[in-house]
Chains A and B, each alone.
Chain A
């Protein structure tokens, strides 16, 4: 259910960009990075995106999602580790709390691909 809302948020943010473009280009691809330590399920996001973009400025645009793993850094042990989501988050070596998340929290629109009419040369 929250993917619906995440998609709404995504579309709003892309729309802000699109409306700032003088020629309102046709967006063909939206590239996202989604971390594992978010409440977003990529497959549901894909589905919501397809449904919600129909007959909007994003109609036909493809959503390309890259997932990033949860990686934390333990300052005590001076090393990175992979917390097991749903099971264990503290450092496996010294049990320090997961304080410094280095990857996995991303919810980022990396880039957009779009087509645009080149400016018509004046006669």
Chain B
């Protein structure tokens, strides 16, 4: 004989991922590392931006990259030329990184390097405008990219990422003169749903706007890093 029961769960569908993300973040905090999750649609310029950033901040900050890619190591190889640790994670069929995949990357990173020597880890997410924003990976802040070639309406059509972004880079600014695109409209559309986001138009090609982006990185470092956090003996990798 069977009895029917009812269990009130009242938990987030992404609870398991959230726990993994919190765990990852506690490692970053312990090491005094700030983690930025870099997200955009395919080809908006995440890798190009990271190339410039690694090249120009190399003397000032100790950086590493966790590079998510569906199948290849093409992006990882591009970034390895800048002499920073680049951990490649293949997501297979998944269209975003999740906390468990990034935990694998963090694990590798911690085995090969001394993480306490680092200030900043970029996670380059898989190119997808829809759901990477919902799967936290342990980041302290979300950086979204939208290239001028994608059109002004994208924030309205794919609002979730833009609503959650802490910093929005409007990329490929050098192409704006060739397009029928109004930057003001992009900004206005993003502002409708996100009043706190820092918006910086940039071009990885000409370098325009990059100094503001670097300033934002510097401010995020001092904001999120808890250098003086006591190292918890109970914290262990992969658990």
Contact = CB atoms under 8 A, between A and B. Distances in A.
Interface of A: 1-2, 4-6, 9-10, 12-13, 16-17, 25-26, 28, 32, 37-39, 83, 85-90, 97-99, 107-118
B2 A117 contact: yes
For chain B, what secondary structure do more than half of its interface residues adopt (helix, strand, loop), or is it mixed?
mixed
B110 interface: no
A112 B96 CA distance: 28
Contacts of B131: 2, 5-6, 39
Nearest to A101: B163
A99 B8 contact: no
Nearest to A99: B195
Contact of A9 (B6, B17, B191, B193): B17
- Measured as residues with beta carbon below 8 angstroms from the partner, the interface class of chain B is 35 or more
B95 A116 contact: no
B13 A5 contact: no
Nearest to B11: A109
Interface stretch (B153-161, B210-218, B226-234): B153-161
B160 A39 contact: yes
Interface of B: 1-17, 93-96, 98, 128, 130-131, 133-135, 156-157, 159-160, 163, 191-195
A98 B193 contact: yes
Contact of B160 (A12, A38, A87): A38
In the complex, the 6 A-B pairs of residues with the closest C-beta atoms, listed nearest first: A2-B131, A97-B195, A12-B16, A89-B193, A115-B2, A90-B192
Contact of B13 (A9, A97, A114): A9
22 contacts: A5-B94, A5-B95, A9-B13, A9-B135, A12-B17, A17-B7, A38-B134, A88-B156, A88-B192, A98-B163, A107-B134, A108-B11, A108-B12, A109-B10, A109-B11, A109-B15, A111-B6, A112-B9, A113-B6, A117-B2, A118-B1, A118-B3
A26 B156 CA distance: 42
A47 to B, nearest CB: 16
A117 B5 CA distance: 11
